[in-house]
């Protein structure tokens, strides 16, 4: 239990976020062992463009990522692309075998918009795409794996981008038509839906800073327009499900939001306010309109963008407001929160921030900069350092600020290079799963955890240079052979025992996936023997 209302179990003051991180890192290793609840969900996650391949097979149309990698290959590390990727379109049965080997109960995947609607709109439905996902979903269920589907994971049909993409308000209608089709065709078997994956990341890097497809640079206007349309699109899809499908299908619809956690760099008022602004501009931009009791954007976000817009000579705020009907239409449009979390930062605001950012931009509107503690373990990904307590604090923040909604950790993981021995990933998973246990002990309403990722995949601009997989994929092999890494064995053991055993040290080279399969067979024999003893 907490030692006081303003202090977490790590001795970290949550009222003003004056934090003793070194103490947290020491204490977390000595906490008594705890178990995950019997009904806590363990899963693995992927996304369509990153693993499926078969980019032009069976009537699939081109997405914005197909367009980018084919027209500007130099933009991607090693000129990699997702044309074949892990070839999961054809290897999906092996993927499901891997899920069985791990012992997960749920699989988070995304549906490719362009497989279903090659021309983006509902006037032509590709039956071969429908057939593929029907086979895939049926195979999951036949193996007792619950499908957890994302409707949109960044693979917008290129033809819709040519009409403005997420900067065109009509996309709310386009997305609604697409969502209705997947509900109609798959909702009898899919009971967990997430509408949109990481809207902040997609808008920031795709329509703000021209890093991801479709490479639109508009960090102070397009970024906000993209987000506004995504909130309205999520709401439309939610209401469609609620009005037309919920009574017969009985599923749930959520949204998948990313968030870092942030600590103020000092106990100064400036740094504390900077940390609050940072969370409001990233997480709060989407969380507050949907999950808060009042709805709408956070007031500090509204005020800061309006003030900056006025100072820059705009006649109105670059953050277009919602009217009262829209606020109420968006509020409450998620049955649960999918949360993607990878890292934590320190945030500060002082004179050094002046002139640092583009004007106008969301970064300049926030007017804060960040850094990571170099004492936190580094990883192959320069943007990720391991700091599990940050996830715990984020979950407590969600509980305290948004009436403790139902939460699923929809993505959490770290990249390595090639090789089966991945101690960095093992340490990372243990640290963040420990944080989930602590959040559960603090009363956070966390229902599940999905490891990112089931297998190595096309990691957007980084191509295949960053490997996030529990399973290594041999991209030089036409068969795209998958082999479990050490982290796969460790994750499997956590799922089996529902505890985190820091002493468990499997050898990933002692037989590959056959070891996983053999271990599961031995466990099954023991269970069956117990039934007849």
Q: Is residue 198 flagged as an active site residue?
A: yes
**Which of 411, 438, 459, 472 is an active site residue?**
411
Catalytic residue among 198, 225, 438, 472: 198
Residue listed under structure tokens 């923040």: 397
Q: What sections of 171-298 are H helices per DSSP?
A: 171-186, 199-202, 222-244, 246-249, 269-279, 285-291
Coil, helix or strand for 323?
Answer: coil
Q: Report the alpha-carbon distance of residue 69 to residue 459 in Å, rounded.
A: 12
Give 44-80 as a 3 state SS string.
EECCHHHHCCCCCCCCCCCEHHHHHHHHCHHHCHHHC
Task: Please compute Rg for the chain using Cα positions.
Answer: 23
Q: How far apart are CA 288 and CA 292, in angstroms?
A: 5
* Contact indicator for 469, 477 with CB cutoff of 8 Å: no
Is 411 among the catalytic positions?
Answer: yes
As given in the structure block, the two tokens for residue 228 are 């506004």
Among 334, 468, 492, 366, CA closest to 45: 468
343 in Cβ contact with 258 (< 8 Å): no
Q: Which residues pair with 209 in a beta bridge?
A: 217
Separation of alpha carbons 68 and 140, rounded Å? 32
CB 47 within 8 A of CB 153: yes
Calculate helix-pair angle for 486-497, 513-531, nearest 10 degrees. 20
Smallest CA-to-CA distance from 71 within 219, 214, 222 is with 214
Output DSSP code: residue 358.
-
Residue 33 per-residue DSSP state? P
- DSSP result, 204-216: IIIIIBS-STT--
Question: Which residues lie below 8 Å from residue 162, measured CB to CB, with a gap of 6+?
Answer: none
Start-to-end CA span in the chain (Å): 41
Residues 6+ away with beta carbon under 8 Å from 400: none
Which active-site residues does the annotation give? 198, 411
């Amino acid at each position: 239990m907490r030692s006081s209302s303003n202090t977490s179990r790590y001795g970290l003051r949550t009222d003003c976020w004056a934090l003793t991180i070194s103490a947290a890192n020491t204490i977390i290793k000595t906490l008594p062992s705890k178990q995950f609840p019997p009904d806590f969900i363990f899963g693995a996650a992927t996304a369509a463009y990153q693993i499926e391949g078969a980019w032009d097979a069976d009537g699939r149309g081109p997405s914005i990522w197909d367009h980018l990698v084919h027209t500007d290959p130099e933009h991607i590390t090693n000129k990699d692309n997702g044309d074949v990727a892990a070839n999961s379109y054809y290897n999906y049965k092996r993927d499901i075998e891997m899920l069985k080997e791990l012992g997960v109960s749920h699989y988070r995947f995304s549906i490719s918009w362009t497989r279903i609607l090659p021309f983006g709109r509902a006037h032509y439905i590709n039956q071969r795409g429908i057939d593929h996902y029907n086979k895939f979903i049926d195979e999951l269920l036949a193996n007792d794996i619950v499908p957890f589907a994302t409707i949109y994971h960044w693979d917008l049909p290129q033809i819709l981008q040519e009409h403005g993409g997420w900067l065109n308000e009509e996309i709310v209608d386009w997305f609604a038509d697409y969502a209705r089709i997947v509900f109609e065709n798959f909702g009898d078997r899919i009971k967990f839906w997430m509408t949109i994956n990481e809207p902040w990341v997609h808008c920031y890097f795709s329509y703000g800073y021209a890093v991801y497809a479709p490479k639109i640079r508009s960090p102070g206007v397009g970024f906000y327009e993209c987000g506004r349309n995504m909130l309205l699109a999520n709401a439309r899809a939610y209401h469609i499900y609620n009005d037309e499908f919920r009574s017969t299908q009985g599923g749930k619809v959520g949204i998948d939001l990313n968030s870092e956690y942030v600590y103020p760099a000092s106990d100064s008022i400036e740094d504390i306010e900077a940390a609050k602004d940072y969370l409001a501009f990233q997480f709060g931009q989407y969380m507050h309109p949907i999950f808060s009791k009042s709805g709408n954007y956070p007031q500090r976000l509204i005020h800061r963008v309006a003030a900056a817009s006025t100072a820059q000579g705009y006649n109105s705020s670059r953050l277009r407001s919602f009217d009262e009907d829209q606020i109420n239409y968006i509020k409450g449009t998620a049955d649960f929160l999918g949360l993607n979390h990878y890292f934590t930062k320190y945030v500060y605001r002082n004179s050094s921030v002046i002139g640092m950012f583009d004007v106008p931009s969301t970064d300049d509107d926030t007017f804060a900069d960040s850094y990571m503690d170099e004492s936190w373990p580094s990883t192959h990904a320069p943007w990720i350092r391991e700091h599990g307590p940050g996830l715990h604090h984020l979950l407590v923040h969600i509980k305290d600020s948004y009436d403790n909604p139902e939460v699923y950790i929809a993505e959490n993981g770290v990249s390595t290079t090639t090789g089966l021995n991945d101690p960095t990933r093992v340490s990372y998973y243990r640290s963040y799963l420990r944080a989930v246990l602590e959040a559960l002990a603090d009363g956070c309403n966390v229902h599940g955890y999905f490891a990112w990722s089931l297998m190595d995949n096309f990691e957007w601009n980084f191509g295949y240079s960053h490997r996030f997989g529990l399973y290594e994929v041999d991209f030089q092999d036409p068969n795209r052979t998958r082999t479990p890494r050490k982290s796969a064995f460790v994750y499997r053991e956590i799922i089996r025992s529902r505890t985190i055993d820091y002493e468990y040290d499997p050898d990933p080279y002692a037989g590959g996936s056959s070891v996983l399969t053999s271990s599961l067979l031995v466990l099954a024999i023991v269970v069956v023997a117990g039934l007849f003893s």
